[in-house]
Each structure stands twice: as C-alpha cells, then as structure tokens.
Structure 1
C-alpha cells in the first residue's frame, strides 16, 4: 500500500508540521509536497518549515477546491494537468479543503484523481486551511466573523478570498479549476476581460505583495455582499478596475495597460462567452484554433446538467482533454467509459 501523506497547518505561512509513518517502508510516498521536504518528512522530522522554502515567490500556479470532496472532477484534474504540461518549469499547487494531515489514500483506492496528480513531477497537493491563508491580510477579520453555514455561495466566496490572499502573499498565477491551459501567459501582472463590461477573476496573475490585490481585499471586506452571486469575484475586480483605471467599457481586441498591470482582451481566456458555453461540448470546428488564447475558461458553473466528455464525440472538450491533459483522458475519462 502506497499512502499519500499531507502536511499539517504550519506549512505555507501557513507553516505545516508533519510526521510520516510509512505503512510500506519499501516504497516511497506519493508526492504531495515540495521535493525539498521529502528528506525531512520521510525521516520523521517534525519542525516548522519556512513558507519561503516551500513556495517560491512569483512562480507558483495555484488551484483550490473549497468543498470537502476528495475526488476532483475530471475537468479539475484536466485543468491541473494542463497547467503542469504548459508550465513544466513552474510548480503547481492544488489546495484541497477535504484533505487532513493524517489522511491516507492508496493507489488501489477508489480515488483516482489524487494519485494521478501526485505522480506529476511539478504538482503539489496541499490541505487548505483558509484561516491560515488569509492571516496577515485584510481578509482575516472578515474570516473570523463570517458564518459559512449561513453563506449561500460560500464555496465560491471562500475561493474568491483565497485567490486574492494567496497571490498577494506569494505571487504567481491563480486559475479556476475549469480553465484548460494552452500556452504560457506572457504577462506577469494581469487580469482579463470577460466581456465588454466585466473583468473576471477566474484567472489572474500578480507579483508578490502587489498593491492592487491588497486594495481588492480591503474592498472585499468593506463592500461584502456574499449573497449576491459574483459580487466578491468578477464584481469586485471590475469595480476596482473602474476605480483604479477609470474604465467601465472594454471594446476592441487589444490588451490594455492600467498602471503597472495588463487587462487582457476577451480572446485570451474567454473566447467562448458564458451564454454559449455549450459550444465546448459540440463538434470541434477546425476554425476554432484559439490561437490568440492562453487558456480556455469552460464555464463549469453553467453546466447544470453535468455534460461530460464523450469518447469519440470529436467535441471541443474531448479534443482539449486528448491534447492538453492526455493522462486525465486515458486514466479517468476512458476508465469511466468502461464501467
């Protein structure tokens, strides 16, 4: 049995302590933490480790699962794999709320996604402690007072807060788990336009301690409206762009510079508008090259009927899985089709 072990809450700023007990000492644990930690972890060293050692400033790519589920959706797995493939020299961090420090998951368990992602060289899976993430940011007082049980959109609101805090603390790129990467983003500090009136926060990138993110977190708390869908996410960054840049309408296909960051045009991540999201599940049109896109946002929130990747459909999404996350396609999509 080859277990996966997870660090306790003192790693990441966030510093985690961890102690490993191998159920099969002849085999190494599946990787869920930075390689630097492997020697300390497997030798049962239990001491604080600096977050600066674990997460390299300005180079990480971050995903988060804010529900308790331990089997991410095939699309989420594809999103992480595609980022791993697109950014081979950067570390991918996937935070999962459902993980605990003493949890053991084996290759033979019914969980398929975690072992698959753990086998990827530059992917690290970490337990999410949102309180630790938002500590030392403007979000901390809000987190201490908020009652998740009374929040209609808690999994979305907590994700909105996570991305602002984690990128402010460490720098890098945040992506939602329904974004499939195509090629590396060239800009360092960026947001992206969803349509002519909305700047979305499904993907964003900034250097560590960027003032814009700090200002966003202050607005997050000051104008908190958790019961309004999107108010803490795209609504927040859109009103902050209006405040910082004086922009309310985004026309044309050119990227825009605002102060020291870019506002990328709709083709970069949102070439298919959310109103026509089902286009991703239709037959691939050769004209859909997406040559001007860094990644594609597949609008999973709109997928109420749980449309899936169908083998042999030649749909846009099937082609994306085959080309951008082939291991997910082979080991999860094809495996499910055999049942």
Structure 2
C-alpha cells in the first residue's frame, strides 16, 4: 500500500513539474514574442521617423535650391536670356531723354499688343544700369501706359558693348560724336545693325505703329522703286546681309550726308546683294531668302504726304494691305501731335492700336513719372 502511495506521489510530482514547466515556458515564449513584436514596431517607428526626417531635409534642401534658383534667375536677368529665341522687336532712343513723346509710347504699346508672344525691347541711352528683373520693373514704372505689358523690357543703350565683335567697334572708338552733324541718326543706324546681327528679330523706328503681325521672318521694306528703308526690317541672327551692311557702313562712311548711313546704305547693299537695279513697288518679291515687302506694307502714305495722318478724313482708310504705319516723324518739323477729340486719322490709330496711351492722354494723366 505504501509502495503504491509512493508511486502515486512520484507520478503527481512529475505531472506537477511538467505542468509548471509548461506554464513557465508558455509565459517566457509570450514575453519573447512580445519583445520581438515591440522591437519590430519600434524599429518601424524609427525608420518612419528617419524617412520623415529625410523627407523634411529633402524638402528644406529643395526649398533652398528653389530659392537659389530664383536668386540665380534674378541675377542672370539679361538681354541674352530675353532674346534667346531671336524673335525680339527692338526700338531705340539714342538721345538722353527719358520722357519720350506719346507717339513713341504708342509705337511700343502697339507692338506689344500685336506681338503679344514676343519680347519688345526699348533701348534707352539715358537709362541707368539694369542688373536684375527688379531693376527693370522699377525702370518701367516711369512709363505707366507700358507697365501692364509683361512682354515689354527696358534696357540701357550701351553702344560700345553692342558694337563689340562687329566691324562697327573700331569706327565707334575713332569717331567724335561732337563733330558729327547727324550723330543721333547715324548712331541709331549703326546700333540697329549690330543688334539685329547679334540677336536677330525685327527693328522698328519709334514712329511706326503696328497694326497686324508681319508674316515673314526675314524682310526689307521697299519705300519706292529706287529706295529701300531701314526704318523697319527683320533678319535672322548672323545673317550675311547684316554683316555686309556693317562693313559698308564703315568703308563708305559719310556722316555729313543725311540718310547715307541708313536708307541709302540699305539700298546700295541690297541692290548688290540681290543683283537688281530697282525695286518692285507692285507686290512683294524675293531676294535670296529675304522678302522685299512693297511700299503698301509700311508706307501707304508716303513721306511727302505725312500731314495726312494729322488731318480729318471723311472716310477712314482701312490699311488692309499694311502691317504697320510709318508716321514720318522726321518730316514733322511743325511738331504736330495727336490731339484727343480732333477726329484726325492719328487719333483713330491711337484709339485702336495703343488705347492705354490714348486713355492717359484723354484723361490728362501723366505718361511719364
């Protein structure tokens, strides 16, 4: 009996130990697994924090880079960037005046409206240095009627820089402007050549009102069967005609004869370039890859009749065959201007093609600040 009890207690002890061990093992296993799970969660959290932190760092770096690019873009604001597409429309002011008349502002405004997708550059000799976009905006604030146009840019006219790397630089370094009788016009004649050579695009005199886009890239404006004008022309960058014209400008220089360095230069070079003795006035013709636009395109009113622009017309002309109108300001020794309420042809042109300038004049607002 005792022996049986002994065996029973031994078996009970073994079962108890086994149960305890089993319970103990389960608890330890649970703790270990919890530890592993907690560790995994913790590592994931740290990883997430590191990723988020890295993303924050990347965001900060991107912001810094973006700001640097903005600063860089502002610092790199220059003529080359703006004219990089070689499709600019250029105007010149070769005097020091900073209060150009209404006709000049109308010419620039009309171009900005007609060529809304192209840069309009107004070079002014009296303008201070433009080193940034902010400088240019400040300069443009002096001309309220032009301020709203995002495609208009003002730049100082620096002839020595413009003439660099052209045949005109040596001439410019030797010339004495004080002894030149037509320096304002002669310097403008040379400058437009150098600008078109370097950047391509279209040059226009500041008394030309744009009324519709010129449909060709390379063109000359025929004034009569005997003459070509240099008041408006367009050529691609580094065109051979431009270089030949600059060479002729220097080789045959005669600043004492008005027009010799301008329309007469274009006429003699163009006739040689095209191997022709006179121009067609009945329609547009081709000379190599240059279109010679007939007089109706820019000169439907010829220079002897320039006063017609300042007269009242019973029936207004449509100018359906014209791209722009040259108002012959050089001939205007009487200093006639557009007068609001006059019902003259020029008033109608202002109303239609430069309404901002016209509105300022109508309400007696200043066009210069």
Normalised by the size of structure 2, how large is the TM-score?
0.75
Runs of 4+ in 1 over 4 A off after TM superposition: 48-51, 102-107
Distance 2:232 2:276 in 1: 19
Distance 2:358 2:310 in 1: 15
| Equivalent runs, 1:1-339 vs 2, <5 Å | 39-40=70-71, 45=75, 51-101=79-129, 114-286=143-315, 288-332=317-361, 334-335=363-364
Normalised by the size of structure 1, how large is the TM-score?
0.81
Quote the offset at 1:106 in angstroms: 10
Q: Which residues of structure 1 form unaligned runs of 5+?
A: 1-37
- 1:107-162 residue CA offsets vs partner (Å, 9 max, x unmatched): 9x9x9862432331110011110111111111111111111111111111111011
Secondary structure of the corresponding residue to residue 286 of structure 2: strand
Tell me the equivalent position of 1:7: none
Distance 1:75 1:287 in 2: 20
Distance 1:42 1:71 in 2: 30
Quote the offset at 1:333 in angstroms: 5.2
Distance 1:118 1:150, change over 3 A: farther
Secondary structure of the corresponding residue to residue 335 of structure 1: coil
Cα RMSD for the two superposed structures: 2.5
Quote the offset at 1:244 in angstroms: 1.2
Tell me the equivalent position of 1:20: none
Distance 2:334 2:271 in 1: 35
Larger % of helix: which?
2
Contact 1:61/1:172 (<8 A) preserved: yes
Distance 1:186 1:102 in 2: 32
Quote the offset at 1:69 in angstroms: 0.2
Distance 1:118 1:142, change over 3 A: farther
Quote the offset at 1:41 in angstroms: 8.2
